[in-house]
């Protein structure tokens, strides 16, 4: 695995917006979101985009906002993710991943030798986990976990990252625009500690 050392900056803090125009994910819906929607979404304070650079090249992006999840029709796995809190409260505070993408040039290629593959997606997810842990530990903000509406082609990847389907029916629905998935705070904290070589 190639080692990654990138800088993450707010979209509005980008030095050169021309870099943004060169970025493509290879997925039309994701590219459309970035080109046509992100300015209005940021202006409305609905979600905020962060941009990850290696040297002068954008390698990935993610947009985060606050959200809530309800425990209606939740899956057995999501009940485990939230432990007993799932039965005590009708909704729980979450961080929502509203956009998550990797530059097509840096995406994982199945079958390629491991030393030729980048793992930008996993590294970006660890940045999000660090944000969540810092909010909880340093700023005393309650967060039960992270949610995402995963595109069908990304759902398997999120499963590998320990996300679970929030509804049992979604997991077995073959054709959907997106799948609602979550990961609980305990799993996030474990992943954060692992990535920072800490004991938890």
Contacts of 5 (CB under 8 A, 6+ apart): 54
Beta strands in 114-166 (DSSP E): 145-150, 164-165
Residue 146's pLDDT is: 95
Going from N- to C-terminal start, the domains of the chain cover: 7-195
Residue 89 has pLDDT above 90, yes or no: no
Cβ pair 42, 48 in contact under 8 A: yes
SS3 (DSSP) at 84 = coil
Q: Mean of the pLDDT values across residues 107-136?
A: 81
pLDDT in tens, 27-36: 998 999 998 9
**Residues whose CB is less than 8 angstroms from the CB of residue 49 and which lie 6 or more positions away in sequence, other chains included:** 10, 11, 34, 38, 42, 61, 62, 63, 99
Query: Token pair of 113, please?
Result: 């030798």
- Give the pLDDT score at 2: 40
- Quick check: 116 pLDDT over 60? no
Distance CA(193)–CA(200), nearest Å, equals: 6
In this predicted structure, what is the pLDDT of residue 111?
56
In 17-90, beta strands by DSSP E: 48-54, 57-70
Say whether pLDDT at 187 is over 80.
yes
Number of separate helices (H) and strands (E) present in the chain: 9, 7
Contact between 125 and 11 under an 8 Å Cβ cutoff? The reply is: no
Using only the alpha carbons of the chain, give its radius of gyration: 17
Q: What percent of the chain has pLDDT over 70?
A: 80
pLDDT tens digit sequence for 32-68? 999 899 999 999 999 999 999 988 889 999 999 998 8
Assigned token pair, 114: 């491991």
Pick the CATH number of 7-195 from 3.30.43.10, 3.40.630.30, 2.40.70.10, 3.40.50.2300: 3.40.630.30
Residue carrying the six token digits 């962060």: 50
**For residue 3, what pLDDT is reported?**
43
Q: What is the mean pLDDT of the chain?
A: 84
What would the mean pLDDT of 124-138 be, rounded to a whole number? 95
């Amino acid at each position: 695995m190639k080692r990654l050392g990138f800088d993450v900056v707010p979209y509005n803090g980008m030095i050169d917006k021309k870099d943004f125009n060169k970025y493509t994910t290879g997925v039309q819906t994701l590219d459309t979101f970035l080109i046509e929607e992100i300015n209005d979404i940021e202006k409305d304070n609905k979600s905020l985009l962060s941009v990850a650079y290696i040297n002068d090249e954008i390698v990935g992006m993610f947009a985060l906002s606050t959200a809530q999840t309800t425990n209606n029709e939740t899956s057995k796995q999501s009940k485990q993710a939230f432990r007993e809190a799932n039965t005590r409260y009708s909704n729980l505070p979450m961080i929502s991943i509203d956009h998550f993408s990797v530059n097509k040039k840096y995406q994982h290629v199945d079958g390629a030798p491991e030393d030729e593959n980048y793992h930008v997606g996993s590294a970006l997810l660890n940045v999000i986990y660090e944000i969540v842990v810092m909010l909880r530990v340093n700023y005393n903000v309650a967060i039960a976990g992270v949610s995402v509406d995963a595109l069908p082609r990304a759902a398997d990847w999120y499963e590998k990252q320990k996300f679970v389907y929030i509804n049992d029916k979604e997991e077995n629905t073959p054709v959907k625009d997106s799948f609602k998935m979550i990961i609980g705070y305990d799993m996030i904290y474990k992943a954060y500690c692992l990535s920072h070589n800490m004991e938890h």
